Each structure stands twice: as structure tokens, then as C-alpha cells.
Amino acid sequence: MKIASKENSAVKMVKEALEKAKKYESYNIFVSLNEENALRKAEEIDAKIAKGEPVGRLAGVPYALKDNFLSREGNTTASVKILAPFKSPITSTVVRKLEDEGAIMIGRTNMDAFAHGSSTENSYFGPTKNSKDTERVAGGSSGGSAVAVALDIVEFATGSDTGGSIRQPASFNGVYGFKPTYGTVSRYGVVAMASSTDCMGFFTKNTDDMDLLMEIASGQDPYDMTTLPDYYSTTEPKAAKKIGVIKEFDNDAVNPEIREALKAKTEFLKSKGYEIVELSMPTLKYALAVYYIVVPAEVASNLSRYDGIRYGYRSEEAKDLSEIFAKSRNDGFMPENKRRVMIGNFVLSSGFYDAYYLKAQKARTKIIEEYNKAFSEVDYILTPVAPNPAFKLGEKVNDPVAMYLEDVMSVPINLAGVPSLAVPAGETKAGLPIGLQIVGPRRSDKNLINFAKELEEK
């Protein structure tokens, strides 16, 4: 990406980004724009450049912020009513690191409320439209961020990926989306969804930008005790030889054009001398059920903090303390938020805990073991991101299980905590983007991003 310089002013870049954001208003990409602050910061960077002072590695680069990253600029809503009035008093670590390098947030992007969803239709502010077909969903939960990059409004955007929320919208819009190894990028200052699978990452237009953003954003953070000691920048280069494909993912439930796209890429890799290895991972078919037990349980716990008292929306009708909780939460949450919290409390309640929650955590162990075994045989695994390209708006929004089934190929990665990069892999005949994902062993993030270049057909 191009950074600000004497020839390329930050003000010009920021103004252009803001103009494009307004031009595409009908896509409902942004919850709010950060016009005044963005222009002021751009002027400051231009002034520094004029004086010959050093500027950061992202100087003047306009970016879009998923609206669950806390920052002191504007409201942090997570696209949910209960947080709509919330002005954060703190800055998330990711935002701080990006801004320290001179990146300029031009707007906050729409998402499924609390990041619960796969289409951005669960937003309190209405759905975001797909960049290629406005009758179709943007994907989710980070739909606004994906479309902002796909429509070239910004150079990059942030996202959070708990079960595919970066990779799936990236694949629905034909851009790169990276979910790092769990613990590589700080979760501090991001609205918590499921603490054992939440990962922060980015949307970009190419792999070099992704690598640069990971150099900047990764690293141990004293504010997030689950961050790993720095390893990203010091990763030893390792050339890949063997690429795995998963036998169980090659079935009739997957769109034939996506299966063809995967086959075309494996043939391409073969022609470049890579060995393609078919893997059997029979437990992966249970990963979706495991995910929709473990994640709602963590959601029920994490969302119990919204009380209508300390911050956010409070119901006007509440008369006593218990009504403040129950009415503010009921009014303030979207239907999918309620489903997940209630399922979470169901699987955690006595009588069901062993059969659902404990069982799922045992299954999680088996899923992790399958990945460990796979990575003893291959360097990376190549699979589709989702079984279908972007679906129609309204098609699945009232049928949660149909919506969940779209996550079947993205959630196992989060349960195992391994990294995965969604890469564009052509389009369907109808012109909808197809995405594949490259999955690697823990801490292989940097080499994995570099390997993605091998899939590009020049």
C-alpha cells in the first residue's frame, strides 16, 4: 500500500477515502464516519512530512475499523442497541499500534450485532450489501470491513474472527482475510464474544500488506494475558512441500464451482512441484456442533456484563433494579444474541452440562489431535472457506441452523487455534467471488502468508 509522502499527501488520501465511503452509502458499510478526526490527523502527518520529520510505516493510510474495536473516536457500538450510546474511555491495543504507525481510521464498519452471525444481517443498523451483488449478503460478522476493502474505499480494515468472521466475508467479496494463531494479536479492547476462540486480524488486497499489518499488530501485550511472546517477525523462513486437502470436505453439500476452484488450485500447485496429499479428518464434521456449544457458553458468560447500568442503553420502562437488567438486555440485544445466550445457559445448566458442554470440550481435544496429525504429514491444508458463495439477503436470517451450516468449514480452525488465510480464488459463472483458505500449524502465520503468493496465477 502507498503511504503518505511529499508527492502523496495524507489529506488527499483521506479525502478520497471519505468521498468513496459516501459514494457507496447505499451498501450500508459504515456505522459512523470519522471525518473530522481523520482530516485533522492527516494534516498533522502532512505537516511532519513537510518538516522532514519521520513518520510511521502506515503514515496517512486510511483504514476502516470493525465497530467492536474500542477507540476514543466516535461510539463503539458492536452494531448492537445496548452499546449504541457507548463512547469508549479506552483504546484497543490493535488500534493503538496502527495509529502509532500513522494509520488513519476513516470510519467504523457494520457487523452482526456482537459479531454473532455469518451475514451482517443481525446488525441493529441493518444489513451490509455484497460488493459484487447488492441482493446478496456481505458475509459476516465483519461484513462492513470486507466490503470497504473490496470496493477499494480503504487500503485495509480490521476484523475479529471467532468462527470465520474475517475469512467468510473476505471470501464472499474477493479479498484477503487473515485469522492468526490464537494469541498472536492482542484481544485487549475488543468487545468480547468467545474468549477461547476470538482472534483479531485484517482484510487486505494483497499478501504483502497482510504481512506488514501482522508485523505491526502482533506481539505480547501486558493487557492480554493470552498473547504469545513475540514470534511473528522472527519466524525462520520455511519452504512448503506438501499441501493437504480434506477428503471429508469434498462432498455434494459443497457448491460444485467451489469444488472446481479448489481442484484448479491444487492442480496449479502440482504443476509447480508441490505434492498434494489427501487427508482424512473424520472428527471435523462434529466441529460445527462443538462450536455452537462452546461459543454460546462463552457468549452467555461474556455478555452477562451488559446490565444497563454502568454504560450503554438503559430501558426507560424499568422501575426497579432487576427490571433494569432484564428489560435493558431484552430490548438491547438482537434476536441472534438472545438465542446464543440462552443456548449457552442451556448447555451450562445442571443436567445438561456433561452431555453438551463437557462432551464438546472432549470433542475439541479430538479435533486438535486431528490437526496435529495432519500437520505432521503436510505443511498446509487448502480448503474452501464456506460451502457456498454469498447467499441472498433474507434467505437464512430466520433459520439459525441453516445460517450456522455456512460456518462448517471455518469453525474447526478456531477450535484448534491455528492460523488461516482466506485468499481469492476466482468467481462463479454468475460473478460471485470464491474464497479458499490456507490453514497452517500454530505459529506458522508469517510463512503461511508468504506461501499464499504461490497460489497466485500470474
Partner 1 sequence: MKITREEILHLAKLSDFELKESEIDGLSKNLEDIIGYISELNSLDTEGVEPTYQVFEMENVWRDDEIQPQEANREDLLALTKEQRQDQIKVPKVL
**Residues acting as catalytic residues:** 66, 141, 165
- Which residue's CB is nearer to partner 1, number 32 or number 226? 226
Instruction: State the nearest-atom distance from the C-beta of 293 to partner 1, in Å.
Output: 5
SS (H, E, C) the chain: CCCCCCCCCHHHHHHHHHHHHHHCHHHCCEEEECHHHHHHHHHHHHHHHHHCCCCCCCCCCEEEEECCECCCCCCCCCCCHHHCCCCCCCCCHHHHHHHHCCCEEEEEECCCHHHCCCCCCCCCCCCCECCCCCCEECCCCCHHHHHHHHCCCCCEEEEEECCCCCHHHHHHHCCEEEECCCCCECCCCECCCCCCCCEEEEEECCHHHHHHHHHHHECCECCECCCCCCCCCCCCCCCCCEEEEEHHHCCCCCCHHHHHHHHHHHHHHHHCCCEEEEECCHHHHHHHHHHHHHHHHHHHHHHHHCCCCCCCCCCCCCCCHHHHHHHHHHHHCCHHHHHHHHHHHHHHCCCCHHHHHHHHHHHHHHHHHHHHHHHHHCCEEEEECCCCCCCECCCCCCCHHHHHHCCCCCHHHHHHCCCEEEEEEEECCCCCEEEEEEECCCCCHHHHHHHHHHHCCC
Q: Which of 53, 252, 320, 457 is close enough to bind partner 1 by CB under 8 A? A: 320
- Which residue's CB is nearer to partner 1, number 209 or number 221? 221
**Is residue 321 a contact point for partner 1 (CB under 8 A)?**
yes
Rounded to a whole number, what is the distance in angstroms from the first to the last CA of the chain?
Answer: 20
- Which residue's CB is nearer to partner 1, number 10 or number 297? 297
d(CA 225, CA 221): 7
Q: Which of 64, 98, 290, 452 is close enough to bind partner 1 by CB under 8 A? A: 290
State whether the Cα torsion 261-396-161-365 is positive or negative. Answer: negative
Looking at residues 54 to 83 of the shown chain, list those that interact with partner 1 (rule: CB under 8 A).
none
Q: Is the N-terminal amide bond of 141 cis, ω within 30° of 0?
A: yes
- Which residue's CB is nearer to partner 1, number 275 or number 317? 317
**Is residue 50 a contact point for partner 1 (CB under 8 A)?**
no
- Which of these segments, 170-178, 238-246, 348-356, 432-440, binds partner 1 (CB under 8 A)? 348-356
- Which residue's CB is nearer to partner 1, number 57 or number 339? 339
- Which residue's CB is nearer to partner 1, number 145 or number 197? 197
**Is residue 387 a contact point for partner 1 (CB under 8 A)?**
no
Instruction: State the nearest-atom distance from the C-beta of 24 to partner 1, in Å.
Output: 32
Q: Which three cell numbers stand for residue 198?
A: 476470538
**Is residue 225 a contact point for partner 1 (CB under 8 A)?**
yes
Q: Which of 97, 129, 442, 446 is close enough to bind partner 1 by CB under 8 A? A: 442
The interface mask with partner 1, positions 260-289, x = CB under 8 A, is -----------------------x--x-xx
The interface mask with partner 1, positions 362-381, x = CB under 8 A, is xxxxx-x-------------
**Is residue 38 a contact point for partner 1 (CB under 8 A)?**
no
Instruction: State the nearest-atom distance from the C-beta of 208 to partner 1, in Å.
Output: 28
**Is residue 304 a contact point for partner 1 (CB under 8 A)?**
yes
**Is residue 401 a contact point for partner 1 (CB under 8 A)?**
yes
Instruction: State the nearest-atom distance from the C-beta of 99 to partner 1, in Å.
Output: 13
Q: Which of 22, 23, 40, 87 is close enough to bind partner 1 by CB under 8 A? A: 87
Looking at residues 121 to 180 of the shown chain, list those that interact with partner 1 (rule: CB under 8 A).
none
Q: Which of 269, 293, 378, 449 is close enough to bind partner 1 by CB under 8 A? A: 293
Instruction: State the nearest-atom distance from the C-beta of 90 to partner 1, in Å.
Output: 5
Instruction: State the nearest-atom distance from the C-beta of 427 to partner 1, in Å.
Output: 31
- Residues engaged in binding partner 1 (CB under 8 A): 86-87, 89-91, 182-183, 196-197, 222, 225-226, 228, 283, 286, 288-290, 292-293, 300, 304, 309-312, 314, 319-321, 323-327, 329-330, 333, 335, 338-339, 341-343, 345-347, 349, 355-356, 358-366, 368, 399-401, 404, 415-417, 442
